[in-house]
Structure 1
Amino acid sequence: MFEATKVGRSVSKKEFKEQQDELRTQLLAVQRDLRDTNIPVIVLVSGVEAAGKGEVVNRLNEWLDTRGVQTFAFWDESDEERERPRYWRFWRSMPERGEISILFGGWYQTPIEHRFRGHCSDSELDGELNRIVDFERMLIQDGALIVKFWFHMSEDDQRARLKELSRDDKSRWKMVPDKSKFSEHYAGFEQVAERVILHTDRGTSPWYLIEAGDRRYRDLTVGKTLLHAIRSRLSESSLDDQNNTLSSPELPSSADAQITLLDQLDLSLALPRDDYKSELKKLQTEINELAWTAYNKKRSTVLVFEGMDAGGKGGAIRRVTNAVDARLYRSIPVAAPTDEEKAHHYLWRFWRHIPRAGHITIYDRSWYGRVLVERVEGFASDAEWRRAYSEINRFEEQLVDSGIILLKFWIQISQDEQLQRFKDRENVPYKQYKITDEDWRNREKWPQYKEAVNEMVVRTSTQHSAWTLVEGNDKPYARIKVLSTICDTLTEALKQDAQPIAGYLPCGEKRVEEMEKKDEDASDKKKNGKSK
């Protein structure tokens, strides 16, 4: 498939100069138009070594207004990144709507290198590529434009370029470890690249193969391709969501036919005060010990609390945080999104707070707002909240696959109990801040919320992240159920050290380390043989 990138295309200095000024003017104009839209542009720059990817990115930053462009490189992984799911680092590089992010390698770099170095099989690579396809589809459905460039050249041209770079002390190529592998095994790298491109070349996010032998041809082609891609996206009236706007099936009108999972909860369950105090002390002691064990084993925990207004989420969270050292956890209260958060995909603000290894993040309300309040109140379109179920399931799967312990609680109370708690909040001065006009408005939509919760649980209670439904009319009972569930889950999870499963990186960290150690030993042996 790379034959078209080896035909020897070129542009003379004169032609380049004549076309450059006009192209730059057009790029700046389309960039100004982009700022007034809800479209984030993600430019992925990848390809064979020595193809001039850095030169291209520098050229784009020269032609564009850099106030609306950010550039990210992913050849190095910080400790902070290694202690979180792999995609955390990419979510942090997502551009705001109307802006551009240029990503060196992006989410393709690690899978390509792992397969090329023999750290994973073709099937493991394909598993990670499937995840990439889903990831890109999710971004595109949210309005993003993804422009993917693959820079290629013939083996002879690469060899000549590498020789040129080896004499340049400022070249990044000097800093690439084991660089001989790329130049000595050109055909193998090309084979991996072809598999990756064929698997991920989709109509909504195609790959653009750029011949990189001639620098002037390469740069002009990239600039013109990017210009065309942004112009085409701006001219589209809207994304085609017609396949995602199917209405929910209408249920029979009889009362028994309208029963939901929430109706099956026994809200009369209660716990005597004396039992509550003794159980609370015991469970909080246990949670404290488990939190330190998880810290020492570098196992992160994410706790999600959802429920009806006045359901007791805050009280349950306080019983958890009172037991855990404050240095080990962060509690994230989720309210209406800020302007910065609205400028990104809705999952962006939750990815930001994913804990590093051994720590705990507690979400007081969460990403489920997309299929609850945003659905019921009309803040999200039908297409947006309907596709959110699969987006959320994939998001949570990535957390669990990376070794994170994920628990999700829905705390349910009756309408009568909610009404009583609302009145108590109005009458007790130090609780009045908890009650708002919005709470009363939401109460009027109780049936709609109950329907939304039922569908949420059905669609997102999976084998890797099941919901725990908590009977919340009696606060002591609800709190003890939450604490005991956390203790039981952590105890079971911490019995064994978790490694990212095959298909995540796309292969386990331990296996990669073993393969890299083997490569190092072979390299040392080769060097020692030469010295003798």
Structure 2
Amino acid sequence: MATEKQQFQLIAEDELSVKLIDAQYALKDTRGQKNAKSLVVLVNGIELAGKGEAVKQLREWVDPRYLRVKADRPQPLNESQTFWQPYARFIPAEGQIMVLFGNWYTDLLSTAMHVANPMDESMFDHYVERMRAFEQDLKNNHVDVIKVWFDLSWKSLQKRLDDIDPSEMHWHRLHGLDWRSRKQYDAIQRLRQRFTDDWIIIDGEDETRRDQQFAQTILAALEHCPEHLTESNKKWQQASIPEILQQPPQEEVDKTTYKDELKKLSQQVANTMRMDRRNVVIVFEGMDAAGKGGAIKRIVKKIDPREYEIHTIGAPEKYELRRPYLWRFWTKLQPEDKITIFDRSWYGRVLVERIEGFANVAEWQRAYDEINRFEQDLCEAQTVIIKFWLAISKEEQASRFKVREQTPHKRFKITDEDWRNRERWEDYLQAAADMFEHTSTDSAPWHVIATDDKNSARLQILKTILKQLGVG
């Protein structure tokens, strides 16, 4: 818990610098290890309290090559993007330290203090709750988060404004505030009391103590990074496997009906997604050879290639493994992308990574809640998430595998790994059932498309997209 006055003792600058560099290199050396960590430092506070000076001094005491600083002007929260999207790609990899001098709290304050359209308290508190949940997910994925608020009294602020160099005057309108206004100063102090109970509060009155306290806060975080769970502390109960997964219905649609329906539905889907003001994210999961690629082709058939992105997800790259599991998906989802389709997705954590042991029990069991929060953030940012599980029978999969092996332009689709995965068929059915149980929500439900007939599956998918978008 934060306190208004942190207890610490000044130490010699040379000694402090040595300790910081030693801790910095110790963190760097954890890369690739089970105890790997990274550190995010969120810096906020009253203008002219010395935030920039403290960060500058910290960089002089550490090895500056391994301390990144991102400084941004505040930007109002945008209802069409999540609060974390502007910062997702700056979440540090293992062994790194990132100072976000301007972050999601800066944006929250800027939005809340907007004179023309101020934010009400309930919405403010909702954002704080979502931000803390995001930060806890970072911590659970080996990114420690330190939050520091630099405070300054009204009297001292006014004196520093009197003494400020005219060339720096443009900086003192942070959050759109006039720092000469006592009313606005008091308002921001009231707001910060609503979220800084878990922050380190640094008094900016004494420059020497301020800089040392900030540096010692970082040192303490580096020396005492929390350990993360490798075993689950929850009692796990498996979900029942739906009958439809074990015995998909045997149904067919005649070719004439299929062609007519496909032409009509594909055009309707294209028009609907194009006209919908929301972003659309379509997720495909399912058994190998269940028809994900073919379904995606039919979805985009009538859409201009500039209107959509398709991400085919495989095993994570080494640089992706050094960051939180969801990071590679945070960075693929941009608010300007109108339509985004995933052939495999973040659900790999609770499917292949669970089954093959790439994620430990604590990681994959925790992932359900992490994924739900991730998707909820997107839904609140005007994104529709449409999730499909494509199910076929084991016999049909074997038949499709053989066709792929015998068809020259499809051979690239079949590998020894695909055949080996058939030995884990029941494990994948169980993992899918658990996934439906824990991640099918009102805002992002799962749609199970179970049939051995490709044409029927494609029509069902198009109809489901229209239904979730509110058409038909």
**TM-score for both structures, normalised by structure 2:** 0.91
Match of 1:99 in 2: 96
Q: Tell me which of 203, 208, 216 is aligned to 2:208.
A: 216
Match of 1:44 in 2: 42
Q: Tell me which of 46, 58, 81 is aligned to 2:56.
A: 58
Matched, 1:393 2:392: no
User: 2:79·2:382 contact (CA, 8 Å) conserved in 1?
Assistant: no
- Pairwise CA RMSD: 2.7
Note closer, same or farther for the CA distance 1:83–1:56 as it changes in structure 2 (3 Å cut).
same
User: 1:159·1:183 contact (CA, 8 Å) conserved in 2?
Assistant: no
In the alignment, residue 82 of structure 2 is paired with which amino acid? P
Q: Whole-Å Cα distance in 1 between the matches of residues 236 and 56 of structure 2?
A: 50
In the alignment, residue 268 of structure 2 is paired with which amino acid? E
More displaced stretch, 426-435 vs 349-358: 349-358
For 1:272-421, what aligned pairs fall within 5 Å after superposition?
Answer: 272-294=254-276, 297=277, 299-357=278-336, 359-421=338-400
Any idea what SS the aligned residue of 1:92 has?
Answer: helix
Instruction: State the Cα deviation string for residues 267-287 of structure 1 (Å, max 9, x = none).
Output: 312211111111111112212
Note closer, same or farther for the CA distance 1:340–1:240 as it changes in structure 2 (3 Å cut).
closer
Displacement of 1:62 in angstroms is 2.5
Q: Whole-Å Cα distance in 2 between the matches of residues 134 and 250 of structure 1?
A: 26
Q: Percent identity?
A: 37
For 1:111-122, what aligned pairs fall within 5 Å after superposition?
Answer: 111-117=108-114, 119-122=118-121
Runs of 4+ in 1 over 6 A off after TM superposition: none
Q: Whole-Å Cα distance in 1 between the matches of residues 40 and 76 of structure 2?
A: 22
Note closer, same or farther for the CA distance 1:70–1:78 as it changes in structure 2 (3 Å cut).
farther
Match of 2:65 in 1: 67
Q: Whole-Å Cα distance in 1 between the matches of residues 418 and 290 of structure 2?
A: 12
Note closer, same or farther for the CA distance 1:314–1:442 as it changes in structure 2 (3 Å cut).
same
- Name structure 2 gaps, 5 residues minimum: 31-35
Q: Whole-Å Cα distance in 2 between the matches of residues 222 and 100 of structure 1?
A: 14
Matched, 1:239 2:228: yes
In the alignment, residue 437 of structure 1 is paired with which amino acid? D
Instruction: State the Cα deviation string for residues 339-376 of structure 1 (Å, max 9, x = none).
Output: 11111111111111214346111111000000000001
Q: Whole-Å Cα distance in 2 between the matches of residues 2 and 376 of structure 1?
A: 41
Any idea what SS the aligned residue of 2:315 has?
Answer: coil
Any idea what SS the aligned residue of 1:267 has?
Answer: coil
Any idea what SS the aligned residue of 1:304 has?
Answer: strand
Match of 1:84 in 2: 81
Note closer, same or farther for the CA distance 1:476–1:465 as it changes in structure 2 (3 Å cut).
same
Displacement of 1:455 in angstroms is 0.6
Any idea what SS the aligned residue of 2:341 has?
Answer: strand
Displacement of 1:124 in angstroms is 1.9
Any idea what SS the aligned residue of 1:195 has?
Answer: coil
Q: Whole-Å Cα distance in 1 between the matches of residues 468 and 221 of structure 2?
A: 48
- Name structure 1 gaps, 5 residues minimum: 202-206, 252-257, 494-532
Match of 2:236 in 1: 248
**TM-score for both structures, normalised by structure 1:** 0.81
User: 1:302·1:404 contact (CA, 8 Å) conserved in 2?
Assistant: yes
Displacement of 1:182 in angstroms is 6.5
Instruction: State the Cα deviation string for residues 131-189 of structure 1 (Å, max 9, x = none).
Output: 12211111111111111111112221111122222x34035525647532564233332
Match of 1:440 in 2: 419
Note closer, same or farther for the CA distance 1:39–1:66 as it changes in structure 2 (3 Å cut).
same
Any idea what SS the aligned residue of 2:324 has?
Answer: coil
Q: Whole-Å Cα distance in 1 between the matches of residues 55 and 279 of structure 2?
A: 36
Higher helix share: 1
Note closer, same or farther for the CA distance 1:140–1:335 as it changes in structure 2 (3 Å cut).
same
Note closer, same or farther for the CA distance 1:268–1:392 as it changes in structure 2 (3 Å cut).
same
Note closer, same or farther for the CA distance 1:365–1:182 as it changes in structure 2 (3 Å cut).
farther
Q: Whole-Å Cα distance in 1 between the matches of residues 431 and 2 of structure 2?
A: 50
Instruction: State the Cα deviation string for residues 51-89 of structure 1 (Å, max 9, x = none).
Output: 11111222222222233222223424499x885322211
Aligned residues: 464
Match of 1:193 in 2: 192
